[in-house]
Amino acid sequence: ETGVTQTPRHLVMGMTNKKSLKCEQHLGHNAMYWYKQSAKKPLELMFVYNFKEQTENNSVPSRFSPECPNSSHLFLHLHTLQPEDSALYLCASSQDLGLSYGYTFGSGTRLTVV
C-alpha cells in the first residue's frame, strides 16, 4: 500500500447511473489530485485540491464532480457518463502544491461505462 487508498477498485456503471469514487490518504499531505488514465494516452490531470480548496479544473466535463471535504479525503462523483469515460481513475496526493515534491498515487479505480 502506498498510503493512498482508492475505492472501489473496479466499477461498472450504466450511462444513466450515479456513482462516486473515493480516495483517502493519511500521509498528512495537503494537496490531492484526480488523474484519468486512458489506453495509449499520458495521464491527464483532471482536478487539483490544495487545503480542501479546488485550485484546478482542467476543462473537465460537468458529469464529473469532485468533492474534498477535508485534506484526507477526495471524491469524484459521476453521473450520466459516456462510454469514452471508461478509464483508470487515479488519485494522488503530495505534501504541498507548487513545490518540488513527488506525488503518491493510489492503485486507481478501473471504471467501465456500459
Partner 1 sequence: GESVGLHLPTLSVQEGDNSIINCAYSNSASDYFIWYKQESGKGPQFIIDIRSNMDKRQGQRVTVLLNKTVKHLSLQIAATQPGDSAVYFCAEISNAGGTSYGKLTFGQGTILTVHP
Q: Which residue has the cell 493519511?
A: 26
Exposed/middle/buried for residue 9 (C-beta within 10 Å: 0-12, 13-18, 19+): exposed
CA angle 64–65–69, rounded 5-degree value: 150
Determine which residue in the list 40, 53, 62, 84 makes contact with partner 1, applying CB under 8 A: 40
Position 108 contacts partner 1 (CB under 8 A): yes
Kindly tell me which of 23 and 81 has the beta carbon lying closer to partner 1.
23
User: Which residues form the interface with partner 1 (CB under 8 A)?
Assistant: 2, 4, 6, 33, 40-43, 45, 48, 56, 90, 92, 97-100, 102-108
